[in-house]
Amino acid sequence: MAVLTSVRNDETWKVKKVILVGTGAGAPVAAVTAALMLDRVDALALETGGFRLRR
């Protein structure tokens, strides 16, 4: 399971969480693809399995 969290820094502080459930190597790919499609992401933490990717 991959958990994608995006935080937007603007006047209305919003925290969005998208949970992508998958198995195998497809789960990290789907999470990264979803992350790249988000608009105006100031802080992005992607956690899949044992590794964490910050952008």
Q: How many domains does the chain have?
A: 1
CA 5, 39, 24, 19 dihedral sign is positive
| Residues 5 and 14: beta-carbon distance below 8 Å | no
Q: Residue 1 above 60 pLDDT?
A: no
Task: Give the span between the Cα atoms of 55 and 45, in whole angstroms.
Answer: 7
Query: What region does 33 belong to: left with phi over 0, alpha with psi -120 to 50, or beta?
Result: alpha
More confident residue, 26 or 10: 26
When the pLDDT of each residue in the chain is averaged and rounded to a whole number, the result is 50
Percent of the chain with pLDDT over 70: 0
pLDDT band, very low/low/confident/very high, at 43 (cuts 50, 70, 90): very low
* HSE-CB for 12 with a 13 A CA cutoff: 1
More confident residue, 29 or 1: 29
Which residue range forms the structural domain that includes residue 28? 2-54
